[in-house]
Chain A
């Protein structure tokens, strides 16, 4: 019998052995890939992360800006650690990738299904952005598919230097959109106040802001090659 036939029943037996030994209440975890064992710290509190972040995401979807800010803050710290472990802590693109992924998390919120766990969704977005980044730099890449623990292994709160400054990208926006962002960012105005100042309705200011962010997400992606 060829070796590859002989190998399969053994693997099946090992799997059965694993599930029988575990108590029914214990969660069966897929063995981490070799790469992850090497790079990521162990993840003792992944379920806790889920319990902490999912309610934040749901409140953010219900329109709570505070929850949204908090969620993106926590995610940013995890993303920084994840990208730094994957492309090297010294790589110039780590912070750019963090910002690009946060923009994606913000703009793609509609694709989150509230009946599903949050951490795998966030991990899938981060992994996609990582693959996209690597693919555009070199032709062949390998990013193993792991569980969400790869992303939520460790936080990294220290912001790094950026290669692409969003401020510079914003200069390319039409005047009205740029001045709106400057008003809310530099002067700390609310969208309504900024709209009033520029003589547009609050609704159109909101649309303008959303469009600018969409544009920014595309621009930062084109820039980060």
Chain B
């Protein structure tokens, strides 16, 4: 088939697209995946007493950490899905958020008494925290990947990693509705580990799933 014939056929497949398709696709994916994960948290894990928790600073510390990370990662995904746009500062913002959280965790450990350190670090739920965040990230990751496949990431592995980071961070935000742990050292370690696992999984699968 000649190239000019192909162009004639492609011209038959033209339909109007409203502006802002990229943002709409990605936001829809985050909301849809987030709703599934929220349902799992609310119905299976159960939320902690939220009214009481909302008066505690540790609750907002966790929300700020995972929330800011979600925003930075989502912006990165958006940039990576649009060919020719600059990636900008969002990945550095994500790295900064993680570094601040790690610093808070280390500071807390250092200022704690020798005897209390291990309890602070491990809390009551360290064994299940990271695996649960990874599990909760899956519905969000699946929705995000489906949306990105409709866009044009020119760096599949990196885009997959950013999608994994966004999914992990949003999952951790929703997991915070359930998780009663209060220590910065706990969050800096086990939340970050779960989010990191989702990021690694995204990098590995993204290089296959996001080719076009």
Q: Do A and B come from one complex?
A: yes
| B85 interface neighbour in A99, A113, A166, Cβ under 8 Å | A113
Contacts of A116 in B (CB 8 A): 82, 84-85
A132 at the interface (CB under 8 A from B): yes
A residues contacting the other copy or chain, number (CB 8 A): 55
Contacts of A114 in B (CB 8 A): 19
B107 at the interface (CB under 8 A from A): no
A206 at the interface (CB under 8 A from B): yes
Question: A103, B10: Cβ atoms under 8 Å?
Answer: yes
Q: How far is the CA of A184 from the CA of B9 in the complex (A)?
A: 7
Return B12 CB to nearest CB of chain A, in Å. Answer: 5
| A102 interface neighbour in B10, B15, B82, B154, Cβ under 8 Å | B10
Contacts of B21 in A (CB 8 A): 110-111
Return B66 CB to nearest CB of chain A, in Å. Answer: 28
Question: B152, A95: Cβ atoms under 8 Å?
Answer: no
Q: How far is the CA of A114 from the CA of B84 in the complex (A)?
A: 12
A154 at the interface (CB under 8 A from B): no
A98 at the interface (CB under 8 A from B): yes
Contacts of B85 in A (CB 8 A): 113, 116, 120
Question: A124, B14: Cβ atoms under 8 Å?
Answer: no
Question: A210, B3: Cβ atoms under 8 Å?
Answer: no
Contacts of A85 in B (CB 8 A): none
| B14 interface neighbour in A63, A102, A110, Cβ under 8 Å | A63
Question: A121, B83: Cβ atoms under 8 Å?
Answer: yes
Return B99 CB to nearest CB of chain A, in Å. Answer: 25
Question: A110, B4: Cβ atoms under 8 Å?
Answer: no
Q: How far is the CA of A221 from the CA of B211 in the complex (A)?
A: 10
Known: A61-B16, A65-B12. A98 touches B154 (CB 8 A): no
Known: A110-B21, A111-B22. A213 touches B151 (CB 8 A): no
A176 at the interface (CB under 8 A from B): no
Return A138 CB to nearest CB of chain B, in Å. Answer: 17
Question: A63, B10: Cβ atoms under 8 Å?
Answer: no
Question: B10, A125: Cβ atoms under 8 Å?
Answer: no
Return A110 CB to nearest CB of chain B, in Å. Answer: 4
Question: A103, B211: Cβ atoms under 8 Å?
Answer: no
Q: Chain A 53-88, CB within 8 Å of chain B: the 1/0 string?
A: 000000011111110110011001000000000000
Question: A120, B84: Cβ atoms under 8 Å?
Answer: yes
Known: A125-B152, A128-B154. A72 touches B16 (CB 8 A): no
Question: A111, B152: Cβ atoms under 8 Å?
Answer: yes
| A68 interface neighbour in B10, B151, B152, B212, Cβ under 8 Å | B10
B76 at the interface (CB under 8 A from A): no
Known: A95-B3, A108-B152, A108-B212. A128 touches B14 (CB 8 A): no
Question: Lowest 9 CB-CB distances: which A-B pairs, in order?
Answer: A63-B16, A124-B83, A120-B84, A166-B1, A108-B152, A124-B84, A111-B152, A111-B151, A69-B11
